[in-house]
Amino acid sequence: MTSSTDDGDRQKFTTVEQYLEAALFDVEPRLAQTRRVIRETIPDADETISHNIPTYTQDGVVVVQFAGHADHTSLNFFPTAATFAHFGEELGTYRTSKSAVRFPVDQPLPVDLIAAITRFRAGEAAEYAARKRSGR
């Protein structure tokens, strides 16, 4: 989802609310729903904007991000290998990229899958943070 400012530059978001307000009419409800699912799944996560998209972190580690586009919304995360392996069957019907799963706007939003991936990624983030604290 890109938006233009008066000078032709890409709009820079500083809050998730700004990001949602700038979303295309058809996509905004899906983004709001994605946000609700993430916040219910990891209520203690910090919500911010990073790389100009909504981002959720725990212990200083990015758990998930989401984004909106004209034809899909996405759940973004990195690294992806363990998540793609763990959810391979469920993700088989969706297009994926190096760091995201794309959910077509003409299909229902898979809220249970978004919650499950968010929980999984929160576990990965916690393990990474613990290793980092222990110096390993």
37-96 residue pLDDT tens: 999 999 999 999 999 999 999 999 999 999 999 999 999 999 889 999 999 999 999 999
Helix axes 111-134, 28-41, angle to 10 degrees: 50
Q: Strands 72-76 and 100-104, how do they pair?
A: antiparallel
- For residue 5, the model assigns a pLDDT of 40
pLDDT tens for 112-125 read: 999 999 999 999 99
Domains and CATH numbers, the chain: 16-134 (3.90.1150.200)
What is the average per-residue pLDDT within 100-118? 97
What is the average per-residue pLDDT within 17-34? 92
Q: Where are the alpha helices (DSSP H) in the chain?
A: 16-21, 28-41, 81-86, 88-91, 111-134
Q: What is the pTM of this model?
A: 0.89
